[in-house]
Structure 1
Amino acid sequence: MEAAAETSRPGMPGELLDWYDRFARTLPWRAPPGTPPPPAYAVWLSEVMLQQTTVAAAGSYFVKFLSRWPTVHDLAAAEDAEVMAAWAGLGYYARARNLLACARVVSRDLDGRFPDSEAGLMALPGVGPYTAAAIAAIAFDRRAVVVDGNVERVMARIGLIEVPLPEAKPLIRALADRLTPNERPGDYAQAVMDLGATICTPRAPACGICPWRDPCAARAGGEPESLPRKAEKAPKPVRHGIAWLALRDDGAVLAETRPARGLLGGMLALPSAGWDGTEKAGAHGAPPFPADWRDLGIEARHTFTHFHLILRIHGARVPEGSAGDFRPAPALDAALPTVMRKALRLGLPALQSASA
């Protein structure tokens, strides 16, 4: 940790803030440098979306959510199905459930006001240490140590922290803590994230224009791209399942709402089985109702956090009067999570052509 201590010098936060004042990214949830902070609701909403999601992907969702539900009271009053449908495509759907739970606590119990401390924020559903620190710093300008993936990379390089992740996390946080200033902590937190996103990138970092190029120990050593080091990950297991695609003669497709808890909880989906832990190993369950089901010879493949999924698609054409939650294919496509949207888009043309 000695190298990290040597690179932590008093002028570094000011140098970074000067750079941020000139080159800060313009983002829909962000206030310009040196201006009053954005509302806590907007910061919280953006931070929840940015968990496991890129800035580019989250931007349009943030704008859509804020337009549709401009206050935490509006979001708290929304129907679960509406919010889950609006979230479709962002992935990691437990975040959407936590979003609603948190909004309802803040609206009902806190009169719509988010706590301004890390401890108070962490008491809310779905708010962990990173999110609490980010909201405290950015929305309330509290001094908080904000460490995301971009910050980890910057700190590992600045301090030449060669211990692989995740063991390096305490060392990285200690250096981040020493560098975090008391003045403008919200702007500083966003500045470090911008530095990692735009200059101190995973590959080909632009060291020549970095405001921290002089104190950076990794740059001095000539191998900044080698940091942070990461422990080898075990290969992800592969799960198999079946998705049933029932196409009614009027063009509507059968949907189901998944159980509130578990994978894709509360989301609309095609009926499926055999992949989410609800059946015994190797069992694929029964189709939703008797029909002339056929294996379409198509697989929808998707990667979740902890496993790869291969869904074999079985399809059937059914009469127009068939009962069930049938929805027009375009409307269903817009509401489905990514893996189910893949299954629909792959299976529907195959089922239509096979039945022609």
Structure 2
Amino acid sequence: MENQLSNLEKIDIETFQNDLISWFKNEQRDLPWRKDQDPYKVWVSEIMLQQTRVDTVIPYFNRFLEWFPTLDDLAEAEEEKVLKAWEGLGYYSRVRNLQSAVKEVREKYNGVVPNNPQDISSLKGVGPYTAGAILSIAYGVPEPAVDGNVMRVLARILSIWEDIAKPSTRKVFEQAVRLMISKEDPSSFNQALMELGALVCTPTSPSCLLCPVREHCQGFYEGIQNELPIKTKKVKQKQVQMAAFFLTNQEGKVLIHKRSSVGLLANLWEFPNVEIDFPLQNERRQLAGLSEDTLGVIIESFKRMGQIQHVFSHLIWNIDAYTGTVSAFPKEEQDWKLVTIEELEDYAFPVPYQKMKKLYLDRNY
């Protein structure tokens, strides 16, 4: 590791800290989670910001804090309401883990978010990055908070040629932050590194001439900033072909189904759907048969509304959306419901099914 961080010797760390933190205090974005250093709010924001853009998170964060202003409110909330508050953000295991963890904080730590690495890291869904972010931002503890932005920034500044896609590489960057972090203001230091990666030291075409720490950057000095960081490409996503049905009964109520409590999009609601792993020769007959055999749902008539594509990190759903009437479904099962169009608003649906609902409403109202 010493070899990988040898360029640290070329940096005046105190000057680097001052240049970085001064820039951050002058140029930081006005974001709702920066209004105070409440550990609960910092925690919520950091979980939301995982794999999600800042602009997307802002309205979700504001609504989430409106619905669950305190840790106790979230701990006591019904899961259905929590999922509804998260609807559309994706990666729903994040909010399930968050709610489980705040319950543990309430029971084990009297509702006070732990302020040390050992206890906070033991909470469900709290990895090294989230732990470091909460500890440094909320409590002023000089712990590293290393995400993709930070790894990109430090790969360029210190000319680190390790593959950031490998989990083991994170240790190199965590050690770099431990050696560089401001003990007086770890909150601003960690946030400044993240902000620098988001605004200036971007993945492509970094704005080096605007960079407050350009004079410390080995990548800029050597003219190799565009070659770093090293990151191997992900495995190609699996394509899944599906048919989904917006089905109404004679009263105009819509048939919905609750997904399993485990696996992808657990406990969210969806419209009846089937996976298609063969070419359709007689579309209507085959889909009707598939729905009856796979779901126990008997469709009287249906027509095609359009196609929806949804991209996950590991797979792509290609959904052919249909509307039709339903004459039978497994009533004895609790995970099937008939609800009015208005009542659909009370249930949390993944994004592709929200799009499907919009497709139906745009065509029928």
TM-score over 0.5 (shorter chain):
yes
Tell me how far 1:97 sits from its aligned partner.
Answer: 1.0
Give matches, 1:155-174, under 5 Å.
155-167=154-166, 168-174=169-175
Corresponding residue for residue 252 of structure 1: 253
- 2:149, 2:198 within 8 Å by CA — same for their partners in 1? yes
Equivalents in 1 of 2:196, 2:183: separation in Å? Answer: 19
* Contact 2:256 2:338 survives alignment (8 Å): yes
Q: In the TM superposition, what are the counterparts of 1:1-356 in structure 2 within 5 Å? A: 1=4, 4-10=7-13, 11-31=15-35, 38-167=37-166, 168-274=169-275, 286-294=294-302, 296=304, 298-318=306-326, 325-329=337-341, 331-332=343-344, 335-347=348-360, 352=364
1:61 Cα offset (Å): 0.8
Select the structure that is richer in helix.
2
Give, as a single letter, the amino acid of the residue that structure 2 aligns with 1:13: Q
Q: 2:259–2:269: 8 Å Cα contact kept in structure 1?
A: yes
Write the distance in 1 (CA, Å) between the matches of 2:224 and 2:250.
Answer: 62
- Once the two structures are superposed, residues 199-244 of structure 1 have per-residue CA deviations (whole angstroms, 9 ceiling, x without a partner) of 1112232212211100111111223222212113221111223322
For residues 126-178 of structure 1, give each alpha carbon's deviation from its aligned partner in whole angstroms, at most 9, with x where no partner exists.
11111111111111110101111111111011011223322443333332222
Q: Structure 1 residues 104, 2: CA separation in 2 closer, same or farther (over 3 Å shift)? A: closer
Q: Look up the SS of the partner of 1:29 in the other structure.
A: helix
1:246 is paired with a residue whose SS is strand
d(CA) in 2 for partners of 1:127, 1:164: 23
C-alpha separation in 2, matches of 1:318 and 1:228: 54
Deviation for aligned residue 1:20: 1.5
Letter in 1 for 2:294: A
- Structure 1 distance, partners of 2:356, 2:10, is 51
Letter in 1 for 2:353: M
Aligned residues: 338
Contact 1:141 1:185 in 2 (8 A): yes
**Runs of 4+ in structure 1 displaced over 6 angstroms?**
none
Give the structure 2 partner of residue 280 of structure 1: none
Secondary structure (helix, strand or coil) at the match of 2:215 reads coil
Residue 7 of structure 2 aligns with an amino acid whose one-letter code is A
Q: State the AA in 2 paired with 1:39.
A: D
- Name the CA distance, whole Å, in 2 between partners of 1:117 and 1:109: 14
**Letter aligned with residue 119 of structure 2:** G
* CA displacement at 1:328 relative to structure 2: 3.5
SS of 2:57 mapped into structure 1:
helix
Tell me which amino acid in the other structure corresponds to 1:130: Y
Instruction: State how far apart, in whole Å, the 1-side matches of 2:196 and 2:173 are.
Output: 16
Q: C-alpha distance in 2, partners of 1:335/1:116?
A: 33
Q: Which segment is superposed worse, 15-24 or 327-336? A: 327-336
Q: Does the CA contact (< 8 Å) of 2:246 and 2:324 recur in 1?
A: yes
Change (3 A) 1:272 1:108: farther
Q: Which runs of 5+ in 1 are unaligned?
A: 32-36, 276-282
Q: What letter corresponds to residue 318 of structure 2 in structure 1?
A: I
Distance 1:326 1:13 in 2: 59
Q: Is the 8 A contact 1:296 1:347 kept in 2?
A: no
Local SS of the residue matching 1:316: strand
Q: For residues 297 and 56 of structure 1, do their structure 2 counterparts lie closer, same or farther at Cα, with a shift above 3 Å needed?
A: closer
Residue identity in the other structure for 2:316? H
Q: Aligned letter for 1:16?
A: L
Is the CA contact 2:164–2:231 (under 8 Å) kept in the aligned structure 1? Answer: yes
- 1:252, distance to aligned residue in structure 2 (A): 3.5
Q: 1:317 to 1:2 in 2, by over 3 A?
A: closer
Counterpart code for 1:256: H
Structure 1 match to 2:281: none
Residues 102 and 126 of structure 1 are in contact (CA less than 8 Å); yes or no, is this contact kept in structure 2?
A: yes
| 8 A Cα contact 2:5 2:176, kept in partner | no
Q: TM-score, normalised by structure 2?
A: 0.85
Structure 2, unaligned stretches of length 5 or more? 277-289
Distance in 2 separating the partners of 1:49 and 1:248:
38
**1:137 touches 1:189 (CA, 8 Å); kept in 2?**
yes
Percent identity among equivalent residues? 32
Distance 2:224 2:25 in 1: 28
Post-superposition Cα deviations, 1:77-110, rounded to whole Å, max 9, x if no partner, equal 1111011111100000111211211121122332
Compared with structure 1, are the counterparts of its residues 293 and 177 closer, same or farther at alpha carbon in structure 2 (3 Å cutoff)?
farther
The separation in 1 between residues aligned to 2:296 and 2:308, in whole angstroms, is 19
TM-score normalised according to structure 1 size: 0.87
Deviations 1:241-282 (A, max 9, x none): 33222124554322122222111111122122438xxxxxxx
